[in-house]
Amino acid sequence: MAQEARTPAELFDLSGKTALVTGGSRGLGRAIVLAYAAAGADVVIASRKLDACEALAHEVEALGRKALPVACHVGRWDDLGALVEAAYGRFGKLDILVNNAGMSPLAPSSDETSEELFDKIVAVNFKGPFRLSALIARRMKAAGRGSVISVSSTGALRPLPTFGPYAGSKAALNAISTAFAQEFAPEVRFNVISPGGFYTDTSKSWAEPGQEVPDVPLRRYGYPPEIVTAALYFASDASSYTTGSLLRVDGLAQV
């Protein structure tokens, strides 16, 4: 059906599709999982803690969708192959991949950043998404379609000394998404969401809902539903002519 002949509801409908969301048991990943299920998708929920994945899987099933909880450390190369096999073994396909898992520890200074910390950040934020995207995009291309969405950070566009390794790893994620968008075209689309600060269960130590944020033009951080709209757009046919793009969802007027 021609895109112009479809209603907005039809364009954003994910019925019959299967999505894999890393870091899916909490924070923005949790919001994305529930939104995809509400839009009709079955979901593979991956994170390091299986019990958290299982709890969210029950919520997805309560919405009438299927869910597969999988314990996976995305920074470990060999874990990713097992994750892919588990997803395809259960559902036989993946239409959507969301590289959401990440870590953002602050470093006291560049010279005090340990090799261990540096390697952990790069492994989770860049190495893991690189490997997982490559494994799944190859299968998506063979199947004839797919959408890969990577959750980056405004930190990659506005790096500060306190999170240099984090900013660098997310900038690398942005770069490889552009490269993959070309390598796996035209069947597979790759896009990036670049969020700023968000109020979630993972941000309670530094941001409370309702707290004013003077250095953000909108004077606040974002709420999970405000990232969900971008995630739905890139996952659905509404973005069928969009690839290699980066969408900032950060409340900032400029970068």
> Catalytic residues, which ones?
166
pLDDT surpassing 90 at residue 214: no
Q: Domain ranges in the chain?
A: 3-249
Q: Please give the backbone phi and psi of residue 229, each rounded to the nearest 5 degrees, phi first.
A: -60, -40
What pLDDT score does 104 carry?
Answer: 87
What pLDDT score does 1 carry?
Answer: 41
User: Kind and range of the H or E element at 90?
Assistant: helix 77-91
Q: Which CATH number is associated with domain 3-249?
A: 3.40.50.720
Task: In whole angstroms, give the CA distance from residue 213 to residue 65.
Answer: 38
pLDDT surpassing 90 at residue 129: yes
Answer whether 155's CB lies under 8 Å from 166's CB: yes
What pLDDT score does 193 carry?
Answer: 98
Task: In whole angstroms, give the CA distance from residue 213 to residue 183.
Answer: 40
More confident residue, 107 or 23: 23
190-202 average pLDDT score: 90
Flag whether the pTM goes above 0.85.
yes
Specify the DSSP class assigned to residue 23: T
Q: What percent of the chain has pLDDT over 90?
A: 83
DSSP per position, 157-186: TS--GGGHHHHHHHHHHHHHHHHHHHHTTT
72-78 average pLDDT score: 96
Strand partners, 68: 44
Most confident of 11-20, 107-116, 200-209, 220-229: 11-20
132-156 average pLDDT score: 98
174-197 average pLDDT score: 97
What pLDDT score does 30 carry?
Answer: 96
Answer whether 24's CB lies under 8 Å from 55's CB: no
pLDDT surpassing 70 at residue 2: no
Q: What is the pLDDT of residues 81-125, one digit of tens each?
A: 999 999 999 999 999 999 999 998 887 788 989 999 999 999 999
